[in-house]
Amino acid sequence: MKIAITGGGGFLARRLAGMLLTDPKVERVVLADVLPIEPFSRDRRIDLRATDVADPKAAAAAVEGADVIYHLAAVVSGQAEVEFDKGMRVNLDATRALLEAARGGGRRPKFVFTSSLAVFGPPFPAAISEWTAARPQSSYGSQKAMGELLVAEYSRRGFIDGRVLRLPTICVRPGKPNAAASSFVSGIIREPLHGEEAVCPVGRDLELWLSSPRTAVANLVHGALLGAEGLGPHPVVNLPGITVTVAEMIAALERVAGAAASARIVFEEVPAVKRIVSSWPARFDISRANALGFGRDPDFESLIRGFLADEGAGKTLTPF
Amino acid sequence: MKIAITGGGGFLARRLAGMLLTDPKVERVVLADVLPIEPFSRDRRIDLRATDVADPKAAAAAVEGADVIYHLAAVVSGQAEVEFDKGMRVNLDATRALLEAARGGGRRPKFVFTSSLAVFGPPFPAAISEWTAARPQSSYGSQKAMGELLVAEYSRRGFIDGRVLRLPTICVRPGKPNAAASSFVSGIIREPLHGEEAVCPVGRDLELWLSSPRTAVANLVHGALLGAEGLGPHPVVNLPGITVTVAEMIAALERVAGAAASARIVFEEVPAVKRIVSSWPARFDISRANALGFGRDPDFESLIRGFLADEGAGKTLTPF
């Protein structure tokens, strides 16, 4: 089995590749990213490529011969709001270029598109389901919603075997803050664990819909293994998450790492961030995801403990 | 006030232009169509242009200086299903080119996008509302759904003042059958009134969601007059229609034009048409449209009588 992953330099993509490579049936994993990817494994089945998949020829080369395509490349929410045209190019045009490349290959590959809770906008029903209209209130959400329709349509036409997986906000992301409006969601846990101060740009009462990287990666693998027949004519799934407030996150951090950790969080409202993040829903009806066998994190503390287990080694974590 | 209408050769566009020109404040109406438009009025404010608005330069020229842009141009449902790439170009790329042109003009024009009930797909809730997810089961519906998201996003960004009006199936269309899957909906009324045979490619029990051309045109005018504040952050409206079965349509035809007329309808199932038309909903909750002041036809008989009043003169209608 040959696999191609766009946005291959991202941490989810690298984790996904690592999990996929545990399967001996996987012959090759192409990781394509617009920036050169730092080698992260000695596995010879990995093929790292610096290429811009918004260019149709590059898209075709990246997915050539692939049985499974994971399209993870995206301009994140904060950046897409500031750089509208760049967001359109990467989040919409690259998706279309990849779908055209997959169609042109004539192999009807599995095409897993990572979408987002950002396709929804307020006011929200009591619980979001796959029946809820996409009413995005951010450029990122709009571009993802259009990408979803493209994937569903190319799949309906038989050009690909498409799957749209709407990810919750991932927490705890390792590494540095990024241009996502949700960057702080990981930052307010990660930085205090590293003994650093973190700014929380929203209030304590804001509800979030979160998934650990572990669960998200497992669900991305499951999303490709699933039979198309179970997905029906609308191949979209809201992946499971957990609903937590910022206050509950901080309380969990304190339970795991002590009051010294939670004391490193400083509240400074950032209206541009608050506006986008507040336009995302936090309460979902995940009966469809459950029926299809997708997994869920048990609670927020497990997200912190998972981060420590995955990222603790080799990092300068504050002793506690 | 300067107005531009794409798909200007279509009958709805010409009717719309005629109604708009009754307002002396209207200085100019550009009607743009990919095919040359046969002159239909001596009004000097009309500017007919043969141009392909999927080309960005042509799009910019067509909407230059416009205060109101009506984007009606489309590849219809039946054709979009057969010619996928053409549908993508006209229904999606041209919409984007026009939005970019409107954005580039820097005037934040009103932009009225005619969408369709085809953005929805089965299984349906008891009544479709603006909260129902777009789950199209046709290329036309998918392309319209993406266009809707583009218009909403360009509007949210402040590039345009956008309005998305989802039209019911229009009945009774004058003229010849076209490549829309819904072409028969007008054909089974129009052809018998002209003394001709009409083929009905679906069963008598199929429910349809219909609007007269008169009501549709009045609602398109109203859609541009509306203040943006009433539309809220999601400028989409399901326009009012009436729910009727094919059997009820035929009964109304018989009441208006006699049994000789209804006897001219022949039932011959056409699977490709039936599949598309059956994927469209026929029951809507139109409380939003009502609250915004859009109008509705009283019943199906009025659609037939309206057709006779509008189109009867100069046509060879069967005497009855």
Burial (Cβ within 10 Å: 0-12, 13-18, ≥19) of residue B158: exposed
Q: What is the distance in angstroms between the CA of the first residue and the CA of the last residue of chain B?
A: 44
Is there a contact between A125 and B137 if contact means CB atoms under 8 Å apart? no
A146 at interface of B, judged by CB pairs closer than 8 A: yes
Chain A residues inside the 8 Å CB shell of B145: 149
CA dist list (Å): A54 to A57, A75, B103, B158, B218: 9, 12, 23, 26, 42
Using DSSP's 3-state secondary structure scheme, residue B167 falls into strand
pLDDT, mean over chain B: 95
Is there a contact between B130 and A125 if contact means CB atoms under 8 Å apart? no
For residue B94, the distance in angstroms to the closest alpha carbon of chain A comes to 15
For residue A139, the distance in angstroms to the closest alpha carbon of chain B comes to 7
For residue A142, the distance in angstroms to the closest alpha carbon of chain B comes to 6
| String of DSSP letters for B248-308 | HHHHHHHHHH-HHHHTTEEE---HHHHHHHHTS---B--HHHHHTT----S-HHHHHHHHH
Above pLDDT 90, what percent of chain A? 93
Nearest-angstrom CA–CA distance, B223 and B206: 29
Total number of domains constituting chain B:
1
Burial (Cβ within 10 Å: 0-12, 13-18, ≥19) of residue B205: exposed
Is there a contact between A153 and B136 if contact means CB atoms under 8 Å apart? yes
For B132, how many CA atoms within 13 A lie in the half-sphere containing its CB? 25
Nearest-angstrom CA–CA distance, B132 and B117: 11
Model confidence at B315, in pLDDT bands (50, 70, 90)?
low
For residue B119, the distance in angstroms to the closest alpha carbon of chain A comes to 10
What is residue B64's predicted lDDT score, i.e. its pLDDT?
97
What confidence tens digit (pLDDT) does each residue in A259-303 have? 999 999 999 999 999 999 999 999 999 999 999 999 999 999 999
> Would you say B152 and A142 are in contact if contact means Cβ atoms under 8 Å apart?
yes
Chain Cα centroid distance, residue A136: 17
The ipTM estimated for the assembled molecules is 0.95
Supply the pTM of this predicted model. 0.95
> Would you say A318 and A261 are in contact if contact means Cβ atoms under 8 Å apart?
yes
For residue B71, the distance in angstroms to the closest alpha carbon of chain A comes to 19
What is residue B311's predicted lDDT score, i.e. its pLDDT?
80
A276 at interface of B, judged by CB pairs closer than 8 A: no
Average pLDDT over residues B278-290: 96
Q: Write phi, then psi, for A174 (nearest 5 degrees).
A: -80, 175
A298 at interface of B, judged by CB pairs closer than 8 A: no
Q: Which residue of A has its CA nearest to B234?
A: A135
> Would you say B194 and B316 are in contact if contact means Cβ atoms under 8 Å apart?
yes
Q: Which residue of B has its CA nearest to A145?
A: B149
Is there a contact between A133 and B130 if contact means CB atoms under 8 Å apart? yes
A139 at interface of B, judged by CB pairs closer than 8 A: yes
CA dist list (Å): A25 to A2, A29, A59, A162, A220: 9, 11, 24, 21, 17
Chain B residues inside the 8 Å CB shell of A122: 233
Is there a contact between A133 and B133 if contact means CB atoms under 8 Å apart? yes
In a domain, B281, yes or no: no
What is residue B320's predicted lDDT score, i.e. its pLDDT?
42
CA dist list (Å): A89 to A10, A14, A60, B153: 18, 23, 16, 15
Within 8 A by CB and 6+ apart from A170, the residues are A12, A186, A210, A211, A212, A213, A216
What is residue B314's predicted lDDT score, i.e. its pLDDT?
47
Residue of B240, B186, B238, B236 whose CA lies nearest to B215: B240
Chain B residues inside the 8 Å CB shell of A143: 153
Judged against a pLDDT cut of 90, whether residue A163 lies above it is answered with yes
Is there a contact between A134 and B133 if contact means CB atoms under 8 Å apart? yes
Above pLDDT 90, what percent of chain B? 93
Chain Cα centroid distance, residue A106: 28
In a domain, B30, yes or no: yes
What confidence tens digit (pLDDT) does each residue in B290-302 have? 999 999 999 999 9
What is residue A311's predicted lDDT score, i.e. its pLDDT?
80
Domain with B16, as residue range(s), is 2-167+213-238
In a domain, B278, yes or no: no
Map tokens 């650990």 to a residue.
Answer: A212
Chain B residues inside the 8 Å CB shell of A134: 133-134, 149
Is there a contact between A149 and B153 if contact means CB atoms under 8 Å apart? no
For A161, how many CA atoms within 13 A lie in the half-sphere containing its CB? 16
Is there a contact between A133 and B131 if contact means CB atoms under 8 Å apart? yes
Judged against a pLDDT cut of 70, whether residue B316 lies above it is answered with no
User: Which CATH number characterizes residue B131's domain?
Assistant: 3.40.50.720
In a domain, A30, yes or no: yes
CB atoms within 10 A of CB B309: 10
What is residue B276's predicted lDDT score, i.e. its pLDDT?
92
Chain A residues inside the 8 Å CB shell of B135: 152, 233-234
Judged against a pLDDT cut of 60, whether residue B65 lies above it is answered with yes
For residue A22, the distance in angstroms to the closest alpha carbon of chain B comes to 36
In a domain, A298, yes or no: no
What is residue A319's predicted lDDT score, i.e. its pLDDT?
41
| Sign of the dihedral through C-alpha B290, B288, B134, A95 | positive
B89 at interface of A, judged by CB pairs closer than 8 A: no
Is there a contact between A133 and B135 if contact means CB atoms under 8 Å apart? no
Of B111, B113, B120, B140, the active-site residue reads B140
Interface test with A, best of B138, B149, B234 (most A CBs within 10 A): B149
Q: List residues of A with catalytic annotation.
A: 140
Residue of B5, B156, B152, B151 whose CA lies nearest to B66: B5
B136 at interface of A, judged by CB pairs closer than 8 A: yes
Judged against a pLDDT cut of 50, whether residue B318 lies above it is answered with no
B146 at interface of A, judged by CB pairs closer than 8 A: yes
Judged against a pLDDT cut of 60, whether residue A316 lies above it is answered with no
CA dist list (Å): B27 to A138, B4, B219: 36, 11, 21
Within 8 A by CB and 6+ apart from B92, the residues are B143, B146, B147
Nearest-angstrom CA–CA distance, A309 and A254: 17
Provide the β-strand partners of residue A167: A116
Helix axes A213-225, A11-20, angle to 10 degrees: 50
Torsion of CA A56, B85, B68, B307, to 10 degrees: -170
Residue of B178, B238, B212 whose CA lies nearest to B9: B178
Q: Are strands B242-245 and B207-211 parallel, antiparallel or unpaired?
A: antiparallel
> Would you say A250 and A202 are in contact if contact means Cβ atoms under 8 Å apart?
no
Q: In the structure encoding, which two tokens stand for residue A11, read together? A: 């941490």
Nearest-angstrom CA–CA distance, B26 and B45: 8
Chain A residues inside the 8 Å CB shell of B139: 153, 157
B232 at interface of A, judged by CB pairs closer than 8 A: no
B315 at interface of A, judged by CB pairs closer than 8 A: no
Chain B residues inside the 8 Å CB shell of A130: 133
> Would you say A240 and A294 are in contact if contact means Cβ atoms under 8 Å apart?
yes
Judged against a pLDDT cut of 90, whether residue A313 lies above it is answered with no
In a domain, A156, yes or no: yes
Nearest-angstrom CA–CA distance, A225 and A231: 12
Q: Which residue of B has its CA nearest to A140?
A: B153
Within 8 A by CB and 6+ apart from A236, the residues are A115, A130, A148, A152, A164, A166
Interface test with A, best of B130, B137, B153 (most A CBs within 10 A): B153
**Minimum-distance CB partner of A135 among B135, B143, B234:** B234
Judged against a pLDDT cut of 50, whether residue A33 lies above it is answered with yes
In a domain, A99, yes or no: yes
B70 is catalytic: no
Within 8 A by CB and 6+ apart from B221, the residues are B16, B19, B20
In a domain, B125, yes or no: yes
Residue of A209, A221, A158, A166 whose CA lies nearest to A15: A221
What confidence tens digit (pLDDT) does each residue in A120-129 have? 999 999 999 9
Q: Kindly list the strands in the beta sheet with B242-245, ordered across the sheet, starting from the edge strand earlier in the chain.
A: B169-170, B207-211, B242-245
Tell me B47's DSSP state. Answer: E
Is there a contact between B156 and A145 if contact means CB atoms under 8 Å apart? no
Burial (Cβ within 10 Å: 0-12, 13-18, ≥19) of residue B24: exposed
For residue B287, the distance in angstroms to the closest alpha carbon of chain A comes to 17
- Angular region, B205: left φ>0, alpha ψ -120 to 50, beta rest: alpha
Provide the β-strand partners of residue B169: B210
Size of interface A-B (CB pairs under 8 A): 66
What are the E-state strand segments in A34-167? 46-50, 68-71, 110-116, 161-167
